[in-house]
Amino acid sequence: MKLNTKTKRQGFTISEVLLVVVIIALISGAGAGLYVGTFRKLQVERAAYDFLLTAKYARLMAIEQQKQYKMELDLAAKGFYLTTVLLDENGEPAGQETVKNLYCKPVQYEGDIEFEAVEIVPNGWETESASEELKTIAFSPNGTSQSAVVQIGNGKTHYAISISAATGRAKMYFGTAENVKVGTTDLDAE
């Protein structure tokens, strides 16, 4: 029987291990870049969805409570909130309060998310905004509202929310507001 005096070395050299580490680092870096981009897109989508839900809630509460609700858009503070009219014991307007409950609260956008475009068509019964930095979308007790298109984005990702005057319904679209028409209503479309 012959003994094998030469043993084969098994293992990796330091250069092979470093090459694998560099490849893993490159793949991780590319994945992190994709994650950050996706995260920013989701932040814009969430901001637009918050706006959409508040508009739907304003319409619903205006009909249910039989009083006017208003979405106040504060362009300078990059946020919005819902207000309603307070009535006295005689049913007369006695002031205004901000709606804060389980379903609705004031929203302030963080980072680079902002109102990129706001177009509100006046219809005669709404109140005028006090300044250019504060825009108002009013919802009436009969289910109608002001016609509006609001674009929310971060410079790269954009969502447009349209509110129909005839029905007060809000819809959200991916993209810019330039393709969304203000003041047109298709009562047969859902």
For 26, the token pair is 């490159």
Mean pLDDT of 46-67: 94
Q: Please give the residue that has the higher pLDDT: either 31 or 75.
A: 75
Residue 54: closest CA among 122, 117, 104, 112: 104
- Check: CB of residue 87 under 8 Å from CB of residue 67: yes
Q: What pLDDT digit, counting tens, does each position of 124-151 carry?
A: 654 555 567 789 999 999 989 999 999 9
Highest mean pLDDT among 2-16, 35-49, 79-93, 146-160: 146-160
What's the confidence (pLDDT) of residue 34?
66
For 70, the token pair is 């208003």
* pLDDT above 70: residue 40: yes
pLDDT band at 37 (very low <50, low <70, confident <90, very high): confident
What's the confidence (pLDDT) of residue 106?
92
Nearest-10 Cα torsion for 101, 115, 77, 154: 100
Q: Please give the model's pTM, rounded to 2 decimal places.
A: 0.76
Cα–Cα distance, 122 to 47 (Å, whole number): 25
What's the confidence (pLDDT) of residue 95?
84
pLDDT band at 24 (very low <50, low <70, confident <90, very high): confident
What's the confidence (pLDDT) of residue 189?
57
Task: List 134's β-bridge partners, or say none.
Answer: 74, 131
- Distances, alpha carbon 102 to alpha carbons 84, 99, 106, 139, 158, in Å: 16, 10, 11, 20, 28
* pLDDT above 60: residue 186: no
Helices marked H in the chain: 14-65
Q: What pLDDT digit, counting tens, does each position of 60-108 carry?
A: 999 999 999 999 999 989 999 999 988 788 877 788 899 998 888 999 9
Q: Percent of the chain beyond pLDDT 70?
A: 83
Q: Exposed, middle or buried, 11 (CB in 10 Å: 0-12/13-18/19+)?
A: exposed
- Check: CB of residue 92 under 8 Å from CB of residue 107: no
What's the confidence (pLDDT) of residue 169?
92
Return the H-helix or E-strand segment holding 114. Answer: strand 114-121
Count of alpha carbons within 13 angstroms of residue 126, beta-carbon side: 23
What's the confidence (pLDDT) of residue 81?
94
